[in-house]
């Protein structure tokens, strides 16, 4: 019993140390995809309900609540989005964007779009 409690405390301390040393790229380039419309109304990894009409995005590592500027590299349209979920899970993609964000970026008729991501404000880890 005492050993298992010690192991648990050690694991918690190690996780806290890793989280405090986590680094995030301030700029990234890659592909953006549009969230599946069927996720509208479902809970995100950050605990919010996904709204396809909000200016939101999913990112693998940025803390929830972070604000990022996404720029479509084809037409140079930009939009500021708030990270509300984890994802995408497909290789090569750096973000999934809401339907409203996709329209603002001019990518609503295209599945994948090359984008540049710039962190404006990091959320609390």
Residue 37 in this model has a pLDDT that exceeds 80: no
Percent of the chain with pLDDT over 70: 80
User: Residue 104 has what pLDDT?
Assistant: 96
Whether 71 and 77 have beta carbons less than 8 Å apart is answered as: yes
At 7, the pLDDT band (50, 70, 90 cuts) reads very low
108-125 per-position pLDDT tens digit = 778 899 999 999 999 987
Half-sphere exposure for 65 (CA within 13 Å, toward CB): 5
The pLDDT of 6-17, averaged and rounded, is 41
């Amino acid at each position: 019993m005492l050993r298992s409690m010690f192991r648990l405390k050690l694991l918690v301390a190690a996780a806290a140390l890793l989280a405090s040393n986590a680094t995030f790229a301030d700029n990234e380039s890659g592909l953006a995809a549009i969230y599946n419309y069927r996720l509208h109304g479902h809970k995100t990894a950050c605990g919010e309900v996904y709204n396809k009409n909000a200016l939101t995005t999913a990112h693998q590592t940025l803390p929830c609540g972070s604000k990022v500027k996404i720029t479509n590299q084809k037409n140079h349209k930009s939009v500021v989005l708030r990270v509300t979920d984890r994802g995408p899970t497909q290789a090569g993609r750096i973000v999934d964007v809401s339907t409203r964000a996709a329209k603002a970026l001019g990518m609503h008729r295209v599945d994948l779009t090359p984008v540049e991501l710039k962190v404006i404000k990091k959320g609390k880890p």
